[in-house]
Amino acid sequence: MAVANYTDKDITTLSTREQMRLRPGMWIGKLGDGTQPDDGIYTLIKEVVDNSVDEFIMGAGSVIEVSIENKVVRVRDYGRGIPLNKLSDAVSKINTSGKYGSEAFKKTVGLNGVGVKAVNMLSSSFKARSVRDGEAREVSYAAGVEQSDNWEQDVKDKTGTEITYVVDEAVFGVYDYNMEYVEQRLKNYTYLNAGLTIVLNGNKISSKNGLLDLLNENLNEDPLYPPIHLKGTDIEVAITHGTGYGENYFSFVNSQHTTQGGTHQAAFREGIAKTMKEFFKKDYDPSDVRTSIVAAISVSVEEPEFESQTKIKLSSKNMSPKGDVTVRQFIVDFLKQELDNYLHKNPETAKILNKKIADNERDRKAISGIQKKARETAKKVSLNNRKLRDCKVHLTDVKNPRKEDTMIFITEGNSASGSITTSRDVATQAVFSLRGKPLNSFGLTKKIVYENEEFNLLQAALNIEEDIENLRYNKIVIATDADVDGMHIRLLIMTFFIQFFPEVIRQNHLFVLQTPLFRVRNKKETIYCYNETEKQKALKKLGANAEITRFKGLGEIKPTEFKEFIGENIRLEPVHLTKNDPIHDMLEFYMGKNTSDRQSFIVNNLRVEADYVDDLI
């Protein structure tokens, strides 16, 4: 094999602008097209709003206006306004900030002087305007390159900062905003900052009860007891329990939603278990205390440290640079005192909690023997050869830098499994093959996970038995045929996760693979269509005489074709759980034993479009 030349010409130095536009993932995480709540377009909104919230935290400006129209994002606050002489530097020069140890900002989240610069560099148009004491300055940019710089005198506008931008499709590709995602992010700011009002497209968002409002907003079932709400200096928590499995946490640092937790969430989990054990004077297993918990925690930390620029996991060990109080000790001590006091003052809640923990303990012990046997079974069967075709990125270390790229396809049938296995990226994509339809797990206890071979091996492949943080793949993708049987299998798999591992869904790990229903082609071009509308557009482009193929199963798609659908052009439909989803009622209706009711529903609601009839036959 010939060795390529490597000379001085191969060494390149990029400017900050060039580097941000070439490698945006380093600064804002993934790009995405707006279909996922952690896509880059929402991170950019966060970076701008963070600065406005920091103004509020420092006592300036109680209203923030946010508008999104025709992809133009505008954020206007009424804080102190960026100092005019430094406005251009503040929005365009990396590592320029008023938050490097300054008394002007404490316990804020924007610390690195990066966020708004990334917004500037990654926008096709960007404008920043600051008003201070009747004077204003406005600077504008295109893809990070300055276009104008104007000063104004005798300005009557209120003091504050306004940022307006349009995300650059040359970097992000085609995208669109999901306003539900935007609204939820903005609601989180108001939950964490009493007195703050955010106006989104003319609609006011505010919160009177902080994390208590957040918890009630996100409960999708009636809690076992009224949520416990505790507040102290630099800390606020809200706690309750439901009836399902798993643990559900909403954790925040200085108004930043730490979706991957960190030192504060770990301390909270430890403190909850320790306080309960001491209060009830019983040596409860921590997992029994925390099973079914739904809780929120917010802490304020001076100069917090995060694992990355996206700030979704706290790494700080101390509450301040002085190092006199650790995050762990601060949270554990707070819970030991305040939660213990609450339980003494509210014996009815304490009684319900004690019963719930005891029930969890009983259930765990009842399946402990089955768990041991199931683990032995999982070891004895040749998992990698029989069910799981793993990827080459072994994720024994959760910090593996390629974990974000990994996914596992759950599919059924030899032909479908074979197509995906042959077409996949073996470095990051794994395949788990089901044998026929899985068991309907609705209404069953977790004991069935260990007694049922399919569920036992799936759980082992995902590595989620002990803790969701051990999940080996970032995306779990349900890949089933586009027919009645395929839809049924999809529902059965979803039921499994909703019933036993809802946190997989809540943390945005579960998806459904969208595969084309039609292939439209002529001698010159082939177009794959995912719905009837796309098919009609393809026919219009290629002509009415084009050949149309209707795919009914994954196995019908050749591996050479399939590669396109699970590569860069993959379409994934996220599975979501929200407070508005009556989970138990839905599962009861669709997966319960009321066969006649479902049959009547189908008959009464069946609609078959004439254009589809020939394709479906």
Supply the mean pLDDT for the chain. 82
- Does residue 11 sit within a domain? no
| Predicted local confidence at residue 481, as pLDDT | 80
- SS3 assignment for 157-215: CCCEEEEEEEECHHHHCCCCCCHHHHHHHHHHHHHHCCCCEEEECCEEECCCCCHHHHH
Asked if residue 466 and residue 527 are part of one domain, the reply reads no
| Predicted local confidence at residue 603, as pLDDT | 67
| Predicted local confidence at residue 602, as pLDDT | 66
| Predicted local confidence at residue 7, as pLDDT | 73
| Confidence category of residue 165, pLDDT binned at 50, 70, 90 | very high
| Predicted local confidence at residue 343, as pLDDT | 95
Could you tell me which residues come within 8 angstroms of residue 499 by beta carbon, excluding any fewer than 6 positions away?
Answer: 244, 245, 441, 442, 444, 587
- Does residue 371 sit within a domain? no
Residues in the chain, total? 617
Q: Which residue has the higher pLDDT, 338 or 572?
A: 338
φ, ψ for residue 352 (rounded to 5)? -65, -40
Q: How far apart (Å, rounded) are the C-alpha atoms in residues 514 and 26?
A: 28
Q: How far apart (Å, rounded) are the C-alpha atoms in residues 24 and 17?
A: 10
Count CB atoms within 10 A of the CB of residue 271.
Answer: 22
Type of residue numbered 395: L
- For residue 163, the cross-strand partners are 75, 128
Q: Which residue has the higher pLDDT, 283 or 113?
A: 283
Per the CB < 8 A criterion, the answer to whether 223 and 203 are in contact is no
Asked if residue 430 and residue 285 are part of one domain, the reply reads no
> If you average pLDDT over residues 316-335, what whole number do you get?
86
Task: Give Cα separations from 368 to 281, 373, 374 (angstroms).
Answer: 23, 9, 10
Q: Which domain holds residue 33?
A: 17-205
> If you average pLDDT over residues 60-65, what whole number do you get?
93
> If you average pLDDT over residues 202-223, what whole number do you get?
89
| Confidence category of residue 31, pLDDT binned at 50, 70, 90 | confident
Per the CB < 8 A criterion, the answer to whether 403 and 393 are in contact is yes
Asked if residue 390 and residue 282 are part of one domain, the reply reads no
| Predicted local confidence at residue 508, as pLDDT | 83
Residue with tokens 């799936």: 458
CATH number at residue 33: 3.30.565.10
| Predicted local confidence at residue 384, as pLDDT | 47
The H or E element spanning position 279 is helix 263-280
- Does residue 370 sit within a domain? no
Sheet with 256-257, side-by-side order of all strands: 228-232, 235-241, 293-299, 248-253, 256-257
Asked if residue 232 and residue 163 are part of one domain, the reply reads no
Q: Which residue has the higher pLDDT, 523 or 402?
A: 523
CATH number at residue 494: 3.40.50.670
Could you tell me which residues come within 8 angstroms of residue 352 by beta carbon, excluding any fewer than 6 positions away?
Answer: 224, 225
Asked if residue 360 and residue 290 are part of one domain, the reply reads yes
- Does residue 606 sit within a domain? no
Least-confidence region, from 77-86, 141-150, 296-305: 296-305
Helix (H, G, I), strand (E, B) or coil at 245: coil
| Predicted local confidence at residue 295, as pLDDT | 93
- Does residue 239 sit within a domain? yes
Whether the pLDDT of residue 45 is over 90: the answer is yes
Asked if residue 453 and residue 434 are part of one domain, the reply reads yes
| Confidence category of residue 13, pLDDT binned at 50, 70, 90 | low
Task: Give Cα separations from 74 to 28, 204, 232 (angstroms).
Answer: 19, 16, 34
State the total domains in the chain: 4
Task: Give Cα separations from 133 to 57, 102, 164, 536 (angstroms).
Answer: 21, 22, 21, 59
Q: What does the pLDDT look like over 345-400, one tens digit per residue?
A: 999 999 999 999 999 898 888 777 666 666 665 555 545 446 788 887 654 444 45
Q: What does the pLDDT look like over 524-549, one tens digit per residue?
A: 888 888 888 889 999 989 887 889 98
| Confidence category of residue 209, pLDDT binned at 50, 70, 90 | very high
Out of 151, 183, 205, pick the residue that ends a domain.
205
Per the CB < 8 A criterion, the answer to whether 243 and 224 are in contact is yes
Asked if residue 437 and residue 356 are part of one domain, the reply reads no
| Predicted local confidence at residue 1, as pLDDT | 52
- Does residue 177 sit within a domain? yes
Out of 330, 364, 398, pick the residue that ends a domain.
364
Of 503, 506, 488, the C-alpha closest to 577 is 506
Per the CB < 8 A criterion, the answer to whether 477 and 511 are in contact is yes
Asked if residue 347 and residue 388 are part of one domain, the reply reads no
Asked if residue 74 and residue 215 are part of one domain, the reply reads no
| Confidence category of residue 105, pLDDT binned at 50, 70, 90 | very low
| Predicted local confidence at residue 135, as pLDDT | 94
Asked if residue 108 and residue 226 are part of one domain, the reply reads no
Type of residue numbered 221: E
CATH number at residue 301: 3.30.230.10
% of the chain beyond a pLDDT of 90: 33
| Confidence category of residue 609, pLDDT binned at 50, 70, 90 | very low
Out of 364, 398, 417, pick the residue that ends a domain.
364
- For residue 166, the cross-strand partners are 72, 125
Per the CB < 8 A criterion, the answer to whether 405 and 474 are in contact is yes
Asked if residue 148 and residue 260 are part of one domain, the reply reads no
| Predicted local confidence at residue 324, as pLDDT | 79
Per the CB < 8 A criterion, the answer to whether 406 and 391 are in contact is yes
- Does residue 375 sit within a domain? no
Asked if residue 476 and residue 409 are part of one domain, the reply reads yes
Of 476, 510, 505, the C-alpha closest to 583 is 505
- Does residue 114 sit within a domain? yes
